[in-house]
Structure 1
Amino acid sequence: MNACFTLSPRLAARLAVLLPALLLTNGAWADIYAFKDADGTLHFSNVPQDKRYALLMRTPKEAPAPADSSAPAGERSVRPAPAIDPQLRARVAGLIDDTARTLNMDAALLHAVIAVESGYNPSAVSPKGAIGLMQLMPATARRYGVADPYDPAQNIRGGAQYLRDLMSRFDNDLKLTLAAYNAGEQAVARYGNTIPPYKETLNYVPRVMSGLARNQQQP
């Protein structure tokens, strides 16, 4: 089905949060294009017929099989390690440091998570609908009041708050915290507060831990 529509900036921001989840839920898989006109109105289409359209999100040609309904809402697959653009890293380094100070967290940890999650790309969208620097799922973004997960400051704050809450829940066990961030809190609980035996999670935790160790060794 072809679709083309326009939205006010406020509604467009909400759609940016919900669109990946809607596509996954309904199986309506198609590349999505967008552009902003002179009035600030955002236009979306899966059949761009205006040269101003640019690709917003690419999705597979075929929808995957429905996920197990018992899987935690936060469960996300780990993609190959994203390439890190030093310029992108430099742009958000100050935001990361500020957030770490405000929340009394280790900036090196936030850097390590962001590097693995998105490679510092604030526009990153995963096949499962996780968005932005810290790859927040829509439900997690709502939970922490992130109105625009593509906004670096909001995304970092929401992801950092989630990490901090997970650290509290799992008694400051960093490996369990990272496992929960990747696979979901309920998955960790379901396996008796151990790292779930998911290939993605077993790969994710040591990658972040390794990045953390490197970051902490830097001056």
Structure 2
Amino acid sequence: MDKMTSRSKVDSIKDPLSLTAGYVDEKPQPRTLTNDYPLKPSASVPSKQRIKASYSDNGIVSDLGVEKRKVYQYKQTNGVMVFSDVQPQGDDYQVLLYECFACRVDSVIDWYKIPLFTSPFAADVALAARQYQLDPALIRAVIHAESAFKMGALSKAGAKGLMQLMPATASDMGVDDPFNAQQNIRGGSRYLAQLLSQFNGDIDLACAAYNAGPTTVMQYRGIPPYPETQAYVKRVKILLKRYQKALAS
């Protein structure tokens, strides 16, 4: 959500999908990766026992049309976990393969053809739409653009759940558990309705504010000149029209 101001979403939303990577002698843990995490080359660290990663590499693009990225994970001597797209020196790293749901501006995903989610969370979306006087298609478009309808989606900026609520925004919207679908949809819809009211019903500006923050939109008096925000607005608008058509049929 608000990645660049009160919502603290510094970059684009990104609808990350998580892929469970296998670890030797450890329980697999779901992980997510979005481009709001700066990938940087790493400095060498003392060598230790190498942990072998296991994953299913089915190609650059999965059957869902989701791009895959190879990421090197390692722990610095100070205990901080690092994720990098550059192979670190030494042998103490893990190779992870993430499915990144449209996390790049130049994503190869065709938003005009990607499958829609017209049924999941039907009651929660309908309730939020009535309560906040929103088009259900808009709620679904935002959820799709944010998380691809993954309840456990978590960005490196800290945005959580279906509508990618930052902790501060979740608190402001009365959401105790952002990974609870009903609470998340209610809170995200409430926030979206507030942005639409603030920007006089302009969906483009409301979506830009949902991504970059209302203060940034007001500062630029329009959609901010951030490629990720501009791509996000276009993405939501494409999905909105498709969901409107699909839900009307």
TM-score of the two chains, using structure 1 as the length reference: 0.64
Question: Which range moves more in the overlay, 93-102 or 175-184?
Answer: 93-102
Q: In 2, are the aligned partners of 1:123 and 1:132 still within 8 Å (CA)?
A: yes
Find 2:225's aligned residue among 197, 206, 211. Answer: 197
**Alpha carbons 1:114, 1:120 under 8 Å: kept:** yes
2:174 counterpart letter in structure 1: G
Q: Deviations over 1:39-97 (max 9, x none)?
A: xxxxxxxx9966xx441445674369xxxxxxxxxxxxx715789787x7633122111
Contact 1:144 1:161 in 2 (8 A): yes
2:103 corresponding residue in structure 1: 79
Question: Which residue pairs with 1:173 in the alignment?
Answer: 202
Q: Deviations over 1:77-120 (max 9, x none)?
A: x715789787x763312211121112221100001101111000
For the residues of structure 1 that align with 2:201 and 2:119, how far apart are their CA atoms? Answer: 29
Letter aligned with residue 232 of structure 2: Y
**1:81-160 equivalences in 2 (<5 Å):** 90-160=119-189
Q: Please state whether the residue corresponding to 2:29 is helix, strand or coil.
A: strand
Greater relative contact order (Cα < 8 A, sep 6+): 2
1:180: how far off? 0.1
Q: Which runs of 5+ in 1 are unaligned?
A: 1-20, 22-32, 34-46, 65-77
- For this pair of structures, how many residues does the alignment match? 158
Higher alpha-carbon Rg: 2
Contact 1:149 1:155 in 2 (8 A): yes
Q: In the alignment, residue 29 of structure 2 is paired with which amino acid?
A: L
User: What secondary structure is seen at the aligned counterpart in 2 of 1:91?
Assistant: coil
Paired residues for 1:16-35 under 5 Å: none
Answer whether contact 2:118 2:243 (CA < 8 A) is retained.
no
For 1:212, the equivalent position in structure 2 comes to 240
Unaligned runs of 5+ in 2: 1-7, 9-19, 34-70, 74-81, 85-101
| Contact 1:85–1:119 (Cα < 8 Å) also in 2 | no
What is the match of residue 66 of structure 2?
Answer: none
Q: How many Å separate the matches in 2 of 1:93 and 1:117?
A: 17
Q: Which residue of 1 is the match for residue 29 of structure 2?
A: 55
Local SS of the residue matching 1:101: helix
2:97 equivalent in structure 1: none
1:171 CA drift (Å):
0.9
Q: Distance in 1 between matches of 2:118 and 2:205?
A: 26
**1:197/1:145 CA distance change after superposition, 3 Å:** same
Identical counterparts, % of pairs: 41
Q: Which amino acid aligns with 1:216?
A: Q
TM-score, normalising length: structure 2: 0.56
